[in-house]
């Protein structure tokens, strides 16, 4: 299923900036960054729960927020893209 992960981390101190970097590094292991604090990840249920658990260990629940949007397997019709950044298809191979 395609999962959209968004986060907002309070970066007013060094600890917050560290949390922000750690969250981004963890998300990169599972998906593609589509905006600064937004990732699209193709995950099965176990991967999703594991990632949620890892990210919840990183955030400070008093200062930060984390959101998961479950777009499912038929996500193509649920996404519209406008603007400068080129879109991609998560299920196709990426050539770097």
pLDDT given for residue 85 in this prediction: 67
Q: Is residue 39 part of a domain?
A: yes
pLDDT tens by residue, 14-50: 999 999 999 999 999 999 999 999 999 999 999 999 9
Residue 88 predicted with pLDDT over 90: no
| Stated pTM of the model | 0.79
Q: Is residue 88 part of a domain?
A: no
Report in angstroms the alpha-carbon separations of 42 from 18, 63, 85, 89, 94: 26, 28, 20, 11, 14
- 76 vs 89: CA distance, rounded Å: 9
Looking at every residue in the chain, the average pLDDT score rounds to 87
pLDDT given for residue 74 in this prediction: 72
Structurally, the chain folds into a number of domains equal to 1
Rounded mean pLDDT of 68-84? Answer: 76
- 48 vs 50: CA distance, rounded Å: 5
| Widest Cα–Cα separation across the chain | 40
Residue 54 predicted with pLDDT over 90: yes
Q: Is residue 79 part of a domain?
A: no
Q: Is residue 69 part of a domain?
A: yes
Identify the band that residue 83 occupies on the pLDDT scale cut at 50, 70 and 90. confident
> The domain spanning residue 32 has which CATH number?
3.30.70.240
- 18 vs 44: CA distance, rounded Å: 28
Range of the structural domain that residue 6 is part of: 2-73
């Amino acid at each position: 299923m395609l999962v959209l992960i968004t986060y907002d981390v309070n970066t007013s101190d060094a600890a917050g900036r560290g949390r922000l970097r750690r969250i981004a590094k963890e998300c990169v292991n599972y998906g593609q960054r589509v905006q600064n604090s937004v990732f699209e990840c193709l995950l099965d249920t176990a991967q999703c729960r594991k990632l949620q658990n890892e990210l919840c260990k990183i955030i400070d629940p008093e200062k930060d927020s984390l959101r998961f949007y479950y777009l499912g397997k038929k996500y193509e019709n649920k996404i519209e893209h406008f603007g400068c950044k080129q879109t991609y298809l998560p299920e196709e191979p990426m050539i770097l």
